């Protein structure tokens, strides 16, 4: 297991980003490459998060290209002023085998420690397989522990609740912050997990949506239509009903409500504004404090945002260009979407507030946003100097 820390910071001049109605100018922009001299690398960004001290963690993977190709976990920490504090790459390979490791989700605890799950592509004795992992990195960038979750299956979503880590994918597992397993629930593959204040666990995948109590006992399960993709989104409302969303095989997105006792209550189907044979965006879903939900569906050409109440009645919808890779709501229920370099904000009524001009060379499969008070952080993988690097920008919320 190799751990490598770098503390080189690359400062860039500010670039003005404009919007159709309002001009949103970044406080700063930063690119980061983990490459040493005479080395070529690709940096893939998957997540951005802000800790309790206002410092920003971006996570993903770093790939050394060439004949000695290697792909490791990459975490980069910056101050609220954009200064690089540390970067850490972690190679989870042990013994004689090689592993390509990438983060699929990232969360932070109240002390600023980072927890990440991901998938590994492993080659051992000419046999290829996929596995999954959970790691903890402290606030100084040092690896604290790592756990192999599975030798054959992936992990897709990670949540932290009351100092417990909840991981779902091939199964749902619960760990304390020291990495000690507290619970394991076997089920069909899942993509999203949410935990309510009572510790009840809700999951959704392609085949089922289900609720378990804090002890892992099944409360209810709902069979889902057969044409859904595994990628899914889940929101738990204040009465413990849930709303789920999936992409379907006809390029539409299905959104549905399920009552607190597990009875399907409503469903609707939406399509992206423009037809495309290219990359579909993920089905994304967030609930506000009124128990209204915002759905994002997209493809490589266009995006549609829809707001519905808890009964499934549509409140508004809006459309624009480019894919969406991440969705966030603030305390005022304003809506933020990022993807394809097109980062937009709408108020709670769906009125457009502002958008940024696409960052040059943005990679369409990346895009993440984190909100912290009046600060907004947006991250991508983007091309600079002929290489794909981590890109992070700070904006003051307007």
DSSP secondary structure string for all residues of 282-321: PPEEEE-TTS-EEEEEEBSSEEEEEEE-TT--EEEEEEEE
Contact 328, 344 (CB under 8 A): no
Summarised one tens digit per residue, pLDDT across range 29-83 is 999 999 988 889 999 999 999 999 999 999 999 999 988 888 999 999 999 999 9
Amino acid 94: pLDDT: 72
Summarised one tens digit per residue, pLDDT across range 278-320 is 899 999 999 999 999 999 999 999 999 999 999 999 999 999 9
Summarised one tens digit per residue, pLDDT across range 112-154 is 999 999 998 877 777 788 889 999 999 999 999 999 999 888 8
d(CA 195, CA 365): 27
Q: How confident is the model at residue 241 (pLDDT cuts 50, 70, 90)?
A: very high
Amino acid 13: pLDDT: 32
Q: Which residue ranges make up each domain of the chain? A: 192-324
Q: Which of the pair, 116 or 355, is modelled with greater confidence?
A: 116
362 secondary structure, DSSP code: B
The CATH code that applies to domain 192-324 is: 2.130.10.10
Q: What percent of the chain has pLDDT over 70?
A: 93
The candidate with the shortest Cα–Cα distance to 329, out of 376, 365, 297, is 376
d(CA 88, CA 91): 10
What's the Rg (C-alpha) of the chain?
A: 20
- Sheet bearing 368-372, strands edge to edge: 28-32, 387-396, 375-384, 368-372
Q: Which residue in this structure is represented by tokens 């289900």?
A: 210
Show the CA angle centred on residue 365, arms to residues 372 and 257, nearest 5°: 70
Amino acid 96: pLDDT: 64
Token digits for 353? 């507030």
d(CA 398, CA 395): 9
Amino acid 10: pLDDT: 36
Contact 206, 172 (CB under 8 A): no
Is residue 261 over pLDDT 80?
yes
Q: Which residue in this structure is represented by tokens 């990670």?
A: 158
The candidate with the shortest Cα–Cα distance to 143, out of 87, 99, 197, 215, is 87
């Amino acid at each position: 297991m190799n751990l490598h820390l770098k503390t080189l910071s690359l400062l860039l001049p500010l670039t003005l980003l404009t919007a159709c109605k309002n001009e949103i100018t970044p406080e700063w922009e930063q690119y980061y490459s983990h490459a040493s001299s005479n080395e070529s690398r690709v940096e893939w960004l998957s997540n951005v998060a802000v800790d309790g001290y206002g410092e920003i963690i971006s996570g993903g993977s770093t790939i050394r290209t060439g004949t000695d190709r290697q792909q490791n976990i990459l975490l980069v920490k910056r101050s609220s002023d954009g200064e690089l504090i540390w970067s850490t790459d972690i190679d989870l390979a042990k013994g004689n085998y090689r592993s390509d490791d990438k983060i699929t989700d990232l969360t932070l605890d109240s002390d600023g420690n980072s927890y990440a799950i991901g998938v590994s592509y492993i080659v051992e004795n000419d046999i290829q397989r996929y596995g999954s992992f959970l790691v903890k990195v402290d606030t100084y960038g040092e690896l604290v522990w790592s756990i192999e979750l599975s030798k054959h299956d992936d992990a897709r979503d990670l949540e932290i609740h009351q100092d417990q880590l909840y991981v779902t994918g091939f199964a749902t597992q619960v760990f304390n912050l020291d990495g000690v397993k507290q619970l394991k629930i076997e089920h069909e593959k899942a993509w999203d997990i949410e935990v309510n204040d009572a510790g009840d666990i809700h999951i959704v995948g392609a085949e089922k949506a289900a609720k378990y109590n804090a002890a892992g006992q099944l409360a209810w399960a709902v069979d889902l239509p057969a044409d859904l993709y595994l990628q899914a989104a889940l929101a738990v409302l204040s009465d413990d009903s849930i709303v789920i969303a999936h992409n379907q095989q006809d390029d539409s997105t299905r959104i549905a409500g399920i009552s607190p006792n597990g009875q399907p209550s409503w469903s609707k189907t939406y399509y992206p504004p423009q037809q495309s044979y290219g990359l579909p965006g993920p089905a994304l879903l967030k609930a506000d404090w009124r128990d209204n939900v915002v759905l994002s569906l997209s493809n490589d050409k266009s995006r549609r945002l829809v707001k519905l109440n808890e009964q499934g009645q549509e409140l508004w919808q809006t459309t624009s260009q480019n894919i969406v890779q991440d969705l966030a709501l603030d305390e005022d229920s304003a809506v933020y979407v990022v993807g394809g370099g097109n980062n937009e904000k709408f108020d709670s009524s769906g009125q457009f507030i502002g958008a940024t001009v696409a960052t040059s060379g943005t990679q369409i499969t990346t895009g993440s946003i984190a909100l912290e008070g009046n600060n907004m952080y947006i991250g991508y993988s983007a091309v600079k100097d002929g290489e794909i690097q981590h890109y992070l920008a700070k904006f003051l919320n307007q």
